[in-house]
Amino acid sequence: MTVPINNFFVPHSVMEDIKFINLPASTQMLYIHYCKLANRHADGVGWFWRSIAQICKDTDFDKKTVISGNKRLLENEFIDVKTTFFAHSKKKTYNSYRLNGFRFRGGGKNGT
């Protein structure tokens, strides 16, 4: 019987970065969760979407922890975040995220 492989990568360049090491453990865990989401849901250029409510449910973090974690990860350039809007109403729908931890692999962001 073969056991299916169900792994995702967390980049060494991030885990060994002193800025990352000095972040709160909840923010580090949020980044690791984003690595899992990127592995499962990212499009061809690395973007994946998730609502704050979904992230809270997935991680069991409260909204404040997720928002502050996103802010820290964005400020330290470990992630990119863009807001998506409904075309007809211009109301915000969700955030899209992209990891920056793989940027060193191929020279550009996300190894591209």
Domain positions in the chain are 12-106
Note the pLDDT of residue 106: 44
19-35-110 Cα angle (round to 5): 75
What sign does the dihedral 95-100-101-103 (CA atoms) show?
A: positive
3-state secondary structure of 60: coil
| Dist CA 112 CA 105 (whole Å) | 8
Distance CA 22, CA 105 (A): 23
CA distances for 103 relative to 11, 39, 55, 88, angstroms: 9, 15, 24, 35
Fold adopted by 12-106: Arc Repressor Mutant, subunit A (1.10.10)
> Are 85 and 92 a contacting pair, CB within 8 Å?
yes
User: How high does pLDDT run on average in the chain?
Assistant: 85
> 28-61, pLDDT tens digit by residue?
999 999 999 999 999 988 999 999 999 999 999 9
Work out the pLDDT band at 7, boundaries 50, 70, 90. confident
| Both structure tokens of 10 | 């967390």
